[in-house]
Amino acid sequence: MCALRLAERGYRVLMVEKGRRFRREDFAENNWQLDRWLWRPELGWRGIFKMSFFEHLTVLHGIGVGGGSLVYANTLQVPRAEFFEQGSWADLGDWEQELRPHYATAKRMLGVTKNPRLDAADAVLEKIGAAAGSPDGFRPTDVGVCFAEPGKSVPDPYFGGAGPDRVGCTFCGGCMTGCRVGAKNTLDTNYLYLAERLGVRILEETEVEAVRPLPEGGYRIEAQYRSGDRSAGRELFADRVVLAGGVLGTIPLLLRLRDDPQGLPQVSPQLGRSLRTNNEALIGVIAPDRRWDFSQGVAITSILRTDEHSHLELVRYGAGSGFFRLLAFPHHFAPAAWRRLAGALVEVLSHPLAWARAWGVSDFARQTQILLYMRSLEQTLSLELGRSVRTGFLPGVVTRLSDPARPPTALLEPATDLARRFADEVGGVVASLLTETLLGVPTTAHIMGGCVMGSGPDTGVIDSHHRVFGYDGLYVIDGSALSANPGVNPALTITALAERAMQHIDRAR
């Protein structure tokens, strides 16, 4: 996003990306093709999806030219009013008013439109909402997808012909393994495509390892190219640097540089603090009855608002993408781990046939409906350099509790209740990821904060224009800059904030 706007303002722009560039045919056909889907370069897997395990969180995030948009669920929502009035940025402006035009620009750039296709699972969600007293809380999602004639290529419908040809969505459910159709409006089809036409260069498979200020101004960037067995160091120079590697790219880099006297030692002590998620729970309902097919549609088709702070979304993978079968475990709500384990075993022993049929389904994605429950209530962590049992004591970054009395949890009773209602409607059983049932550790695809805005370095890492305190020409413009919990999928808000930040960059002289 920043690359395009800076190029339009006359700057020479180089983008450095750790992941590789993907063509449609490069994406995995399903998530069993681990080398094309997962990011584990030590195993030779250089896909678009990474799972990072911490003591208090499991984080799902994306890598590649196009960033998280390659693997995200393309659901683009504007948060409710309370988001703009809480957190460390609340007193720095009238954010709802100030961001309104930038949300409009972001929607236009990302091709946001209403999901036109609902199916039987969406009807179940709507029925649950009506029974729970939320008959008006159900709606289709707003998504960044091209809904031309399914499977048909059409000239660029978004930028007056300046963008690439697009293909109409086939509703195959493959959004989160990488869109092989060409319908998903990933950043390489809009912002980056247009930026490269203006001369922006992209160094792929190259990871930034240091950003060092120069005595005369500007920065020296040390980077490492890695592809297969090949590796080479790169030294780059820039007047200005935008860090946009997401929470698990930007924050670890800044933490290391803050500890380096030749790096960025003046970075605020607030770095890594106020880390947050959408306060969410992921639960699956496995329905052995083959009359149900949950794999058809865009990644997230509908939303049910359940109260003023919470909502539930229907999420899917395409047929054949059954990788998470390996991590599925009976779900049970209880505070203590031993009670959850005991409850899960009782659940299986009480319904042995149902669980045998559920575990034996031939196509896990087709028979499993994922339920994503999210809340706008605040709950924060910190990210620090250190070692952890969860990472085998390897050096890296670890999570710490901001409030030991309120650790993040996957155990949200309203989410469990909604999942059981859904299971009753479809004749299914309720499951969670193993880490959630056994450890109570939540899984999130929405890791945010850690480089929050503040009035100075005692309250934040960046100012309201995304400038790092103490370092002229250094910016953080990504999810780590989110300074409150939006309570919804955050991609549209990150885009709007980037658009606003670029409005405050003067034109190149």
Residues acting as catalytic residues: 446
Closest CA to 210 of 184, 236, 239: 236
Specify the DSSP class assigned to residue 413.
Answer: H
Torsional sign, CA 495, 497, 498, 500: positive
Task: Collapse the DSSP code of 52 into the 3-class scheme (helix H, G, I; strand E, B; otherwise coil) and give the result.
Answer: strand
Q: How many CB atoms lie within 10 A of CB 93?
A: 14
The set of long-range contacts for 192-199, using a CB threshold of 8 Å and a minimum separation of 24, is: 192/3, 192/4, 192/15, 192/65, 192/66, 193/163, 193/164, 194/4, 194/159, 194/162, 194/163, 195/3, 195/4, 195/7, 195/13, 195/15, 197/162, 198/4, 198/7, 198/8, 199/7, 199/12, 199/13
Distance CA 59, CA 48 (A): 14
Assigned token pair, 41:
């370069």
Phi and psi angles of residue 388, each rounded to the nearest 5 degrees, phi first: -145, 150
Specify the DSSP class assigned to residue 507.
Answer: P
Residue 111 Cα distances to 35, 151, 156, 159, angstroms: 30, 18, 11, 10
Q: How many CB atoms lie within 10 A of CB 135?
A: 11
Distance CA 435, CA 101 (A): 41
Assigned token pair, 357:
């049929």
